């Protein structure tokens, strides 16, 4: 725990240094291939199941001079979603749940970033945004942290790790299939490694 806190503090100090070194405008980051995924956790007949879907594209911008002005726009192809069991995956992608054939893309777009008490993303922040799933757009709030890879220099923000967590109601998006078997809440655990352009 203390190591994680130290890394977060170093990210914060690096962002502060970066803000005064000529990088005042938002800087674009790209996903590091193969190092980003969305995990969703749900209960089937009282048993927890986990599925994953890769992140297809992302437009992520970090503004070190004004962290609250940072933004994220992330898209995944739900047809690539997988769970640990084939029949669960097939049910998940069916018309009554995710309706993957008709609405293959899932998109999350941030609308506001609320920083933690210390004014840092590295010590926890909240992201307000809009999730589009099954062609339905609803507000979704996520908890966010931003950290550097272990061993990197305090002012090296070329690569960053993002973790986002939240909970959604599948019914709110029309994914109402199998109501007696599958609980309504779905937890999200999103991990991404991003690299600054240039």
Q: In which band, very low, low, confident or very high, does the pLDDT at 120 lie, cut at 50, 70 and 90?
A: low
The mean pLDDT of 29-40, rounded to a whole number, is 88
2 has pLDDT over 50: no
Q: Residue 119 gets which letter from DSSP?
A: S
Element (H, E) at 7: helix 2-19
SS3 70: coil
Q: Which tokens hold the place of 14?
A: 């690096």
| Angstrom distance (rounded) from CA 92 to CA 115 | 34
The mean pLDDT of 115-143, rounded to a whole number, is 87
- C-alpha pair distances (Å), 15 with each of 6, 147, 198: 14, 11, 17
Q: In which band, very low, low, confident or very high, does the pLDDT at 13 lie, cut at 50, 70 and 90?
A: very low
The mean pLDDT of 27-51, rounded to a whole number, is 91
119 has pLDDT over 80: no
The mean pLDDT of 154-169, rounded to a whole number, is 90
| Angle value at C-alpha 186, between 184 and 188, nearest 5 degrees | 170
Sign of CA dihedral 29, 5, 18, 69: positive
Region of residue 171 (phi > 0: left; psi between -120 and 50: alpha; otherwise: beta): alpha
- Any idea which of 10-14, 52-56, 59-63, 178-182 has the lowest mean pLDDT? 10-14
High-pLDDT (> 70) share of the chain, %: 86
Q: In which band, very low, low, confident or very high, does the pLDDT at 147 lie, cut at 50, 70 and 90?
A: confident
| Angstrom distance (rounded) from CA 128 to CA 126 | 7
- Look up the pTM and report it: 0.81
Give 28's contacts (C-beta < 8 A, 6+ positions apart): 59, 60, 61, 196, 197
What pLDDT, on the 0 to 100 scale, is given for residue 67? 81
Give 54's contacts (C-beta < 8 A, 6+ positions apart): 36, 37, 38, 76, 77, 80
What pLDDT, on the 0 to 100 scale, is given for residue 96? 96
CB 189 within 8 A of CB 39: yes
What pLDDT, on the 0 to 100 scale, is given for residue 1? 35
């Amino acid at each position: 725990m203390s190591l994680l806190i130290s890394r977060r503090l170093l990210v914060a100090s690096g962002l502060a240094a970066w803000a005064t070194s000529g990088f005042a405008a938002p800087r674009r980051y790209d996903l590091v291939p193969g190092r980003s995924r969305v995990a969703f956790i749900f209960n089937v007949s009282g048993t927890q199941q986990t599925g994953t879907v890769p992140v297809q594209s992302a437009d992520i911008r970090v503004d070190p001079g004004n962290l609250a002005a940072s933004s994220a726009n992330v898209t995944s192809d739900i047809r690539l979603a997988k769970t640990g069991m084939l029949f669960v995956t097939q049910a998940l992608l069916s018309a009554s749940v995710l309706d993957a054939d008709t609405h293959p893309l899932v998109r999350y777009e941030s609308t506001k970033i609320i920083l933690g008490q210390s004014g840092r993303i590295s010590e926890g922040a909240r992201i307000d945004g809009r999730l589009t799933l099954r062609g339905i757009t609803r507000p979704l709030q996520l908890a966010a942290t931003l950290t550097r890879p272990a061993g990197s220099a305090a002012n090296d923000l070329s690569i960053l790790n993002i973790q986002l967590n939240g909970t959604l109601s599948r019914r709110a998006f029309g994914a109402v299939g199998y109501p007696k078997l599958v609980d309504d809440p779905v937890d999200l655990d999103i991990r991404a490694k991003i690299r600054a352009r240039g």
